[in-house]
Amino acid sequence: MNRLLLNKIIMILSTISAILGISFLFWILATLTIKGVSSMHFSIFVNDLVNGGIRNLLVGQFTMALLATAIGVPLGMMAGIYLREYSNDGKLAYIMRNLSDVMMSAPSIVIGVFVYALFVAPFNQYNGWAGSIALAIMMIPIVISTTDNMLSLVPKELREAGIALGGSKHKIILEIVIKAAKVGITTGILLAFARIIGETAPLLFTSANNAYFTMNMNDQFPSLTVSIYNLANYPDSQSRDLAWAASFVLTMIVLFINLIGRFLTRDKG
């Protein structure tokens, strides 16, 4: 009887906790949708921040995120391939995996301060390159872990079949192993991209923001997330409305990317 009673109590508490968590999430999304949609109008997509729009902010945010992806994905994948295919689970692999786990849990603001010290302070200038590097540093451990885990799921028989056919190790990895794990790796990359596209803290210390349209990465660079942070603190209602609209757009972007990742995972199954 005691076990049955304890089981019921735990089940009730777990159900209440789940309902509370979902309720808060629904409350946040509902508030964001109502305020964001009511503040939306077509002109915000064709005007820059200086004219009350977010065009330059969207371009700037995606430019830094795509550049971070171009840096982070190759480095992360090569590190993941090394850990799974070449390291033989030695001490170096153990250290790298632990460091990768630590980096994934590191506060983004700490990464921002680190990049600020190396790529901003010495030049006395916020810049888009520093913002991209900060985002890439956040992306690399996620890609490492995803690549490592997905390659571990590829059956050894596929590697042995490649060896039996006379394939070299790197050919087997590129032509057989990675192709077998491509859906899982792609999903991990998309989720990592969704993570960095919504980051604010590291960009506050690196790229800062720019109210004008620019593609000059050597100067302060437009950022949607930093602008949302700034606009929300302005006293006028017009700025706060723009912050709500920008927040809704950013949420939809992140949600869309996550849905693509989930769809790919489901398709794999």
Q: Both 195 and 224 in a single domain?
A: yes
Cα distances from 228 to residues 15, 46, 126, 174, in angstroms, run 35, 17, 18, 42
**Segments forming the whole domain that contains residue 247:** 42-268
Q: Both 15 and 84 in a single domain?
A: no
pLDDT of residue 129: 96
Q: Both 151 and 191 in a single domain?
A: yes
Read off the tokens for 225: 């997330």
Read off the tokens for 195: 């993570």
Number of compact structural domains in the chain: 2
pLDDT of residue 263: 80
Q: What is the pTM of this model?
A: 0.89
pLDDT of residue 87: 86
Per-residue pLDDT of the chain (269 residues; tens, 9 = 90+): 577 788 888 899 999 999 998 999 899 889 999 999 988 888 899 999 999 999 999 999 999 999 999 999 999 999 999 999 888 888 888 898 998 888 888 899 999 999 999 999 999 999 999 999 999 999 999 999 999 999 999 888 888 888 888 878 888 888 888 988 888 899 889 989 998 998 999 999 999 999 999 999 999 999 999 999 999 888 888 999 999 999 999 999 998 988 887 787 665 54
pLDDT of residue 139: 94
Q: Both 12 and 110 in a single domain?
A: no
Q: Both 27 and 154 in a single domain?
A: no
Q: How far apart are CA 201 and CA 225, in angstroms?
A: 9
pLDDT of residue 136: 96
Q: Both 74 and 170 in a single domain?
A: yes
Q: Quick count: other Cβ atoms within 10 Å of Cβ 71?
A: 17
Tell me the CATH number at 137: 1.10.3720.10
For 133, phi and psi rounded to 5 degrees? -65, -40
pLDDT of residue 160: 81
Q: Calculate Rg over the CA atoms of the chain.
A: 22
Residue 142 CA from chain centroid, whole number: 9
pLDDT of residue 92: 86
Q: Both 27 and 48 in a single domain?
A: no
Q: Both 17 and 97 in a single domain?
A: no
3-state secondary structure of 206: coil
pLDDT of residue 1: 57
